Chain A
């Protein structure tokens, strides 16, 4: 099998199509977050096979500041690496928009930015997510569920809050189906509370996937890293949302006792 590779100017994330079954798209998409600029949207033809071409569809202006420091921890001067502002988890295409997330600097704090690039207009809408006004928030990932009411978004990340004496902890938040993109501030559910570490390197693993067995994209499974006692990496898994499949209850009204047996 032969295929072509294409050089790009910065780390550029491959876009996964959402849905169960997965939706189709006219092209394969790639998206890069570029500090100081915004987003670069690429499209790849022919599934990358013979004769494929990669086209820069648009550079979308939405400047943000790259992280300038690492995540602070309580009671120690050791900090935790929190990435450089690139998209590090696969974005998702919902048929209209590409949903993405990455870290940026917001008034000196590491902050999660998430958003959606509309591929027909080359426009972007963004919002922020963080745990508190003193937290550092990093290592995000997301997934989207497709529902008749619209797209639902599950956003998963880690945070520290040194002034609140909180070591690296894991949090997940959601944008309900069809709700406009908006800031998620202090509304997420904390699903792992960890310890401090002397390792500066974070594990970087972060993911969200929609549970395909629950209809409507209402249930997601998240994985995120934190540090256990002694400062070793650990990974916590969480299943969130409306995860119970609907139960069909037979209509037994007016049945005889034998029929209801």
Chain B
């Protein structure tokens, strides 16, 4: 699932393995995604 605030792209995942499942969340700073224009 995706979300965002002013500084970050926010992501959560549901991960399935052959024997189990787990859940993670993380953020990606927008400053790292969108380079400063030259």
Contacts and interface: CB of A to CB of B under 8 A. Distances in A.
A14 B23 contact: no
A11 interface: yes
A225 B13 CA distance: 22
A22 B6 contact: yes
Contacts of B25: 5-6, 8, 12, 14, 30, 42, 44, 54
Interface stretch (A45-53, A62-70, A181-189): A45-53
B27 A28 contact: yes
B24 A14 contact: no
B1 A9 contact: no
A28 B10 contact: yes
A56 to B, nearest CB: 11
A131 B38 CA distance: 53
A159 interface: no
B31 to A, nearest CB: 8
A121 interface: no
B16 to A, nearest CB: 12
B18 to A, nearest CB: 18
A25 B5 contact: yes
A2 to B, nearest CB: 9
B12 A13 contact: yes
B27 A3 contact: yes
B1 A15 contact: no
Interface in B1-38: 1-8, 10-12, 14, 22-33
A48 B1 contact: no
A14 B29 contact: no
A7 B2 contact: no
B2 A48 contact: no
A232 to B, nearest CB: 25
A101 interface: no
A30 B29 CA distance: 15
Contact of B28 (A1, A9, A13): A1
A182 to B, nearest CB: 26
Contact of B3 (A1, A7, A47, A90): A90
Contacts of B4: 14, 16-17, 22
Closest 5 CB pairs of A and B: A48-B27, A14-B3, A14-B10, A47-B8, A47-B29
Given A24-B7, A49-B31, A89-B1, 18 more contacts: A5-B25, A5-B26, A14-B27, A15-B3, A15-B5, A16-B5, A25-B6, A28-B7, A28-B8, A28-B10, A30-B12, A44-B10, A44-B27, A47-B27, A48-B8, A48-B27, A49-B27, A49-B32
